[in-house]
Chains A and B, each alone.
Chain A
Amino acid sequence: MIPNIKFNSQDNAALIISCISAEINAVEKELMELLVSFGDEWLKKKYRLVNSKQIENILNEPDFRSMKFLIWKPQNITMN
Chain B
Amino acid sequence: METSKHHNELTVFINNFSDGWVTLLNNYSIEYDREITMATLSDQSTVYPIYRFYHRDKFNERFIQTLKEVNSWEFYQRGQPLSIEDESNYNKRRIVDRLNNSIIENYMQKLGFDYTKKEFWLSKGEAIEYTFVLGVS
Binding site for B on A (CB under 8 A): 1-5, 7-24, 26-28, 30-31, 34-35, 39-40, 42-52, 55, 58-80
Closest beta carbon of chain A to B135's beta carbon, Å:
10
Are B128 and A4 in contact, CB atoms less than 8 angstroms apart?
no
A-B CB contact pairs (8 Å), 25 listed: A7-B43, A11-B18, A14-B20, A14-B46, A16-B15, A16-B20, A17-B41, A18-B20, A18-B25, A19-B13, A19-B111, A20-B10, A20-B28, A22-B10, A23-B11, A30-B32, A49-B126, A51-B121, A66-B132, A68-B129, A71-B12, A73-B125, A75-B123, A77-B10, A78-B114
Are B128 and A72 in contact, CB atoms less than 8 angstroms apart?
yes
| Cα distance A62–B133 in the bound complex, in angstroms | 12
Segment with Cβ contacts to A, from B1-9, B71-79, B87-95: B1-9
| Cα distance A12–B112 in the bound complex, in angstroms | 27
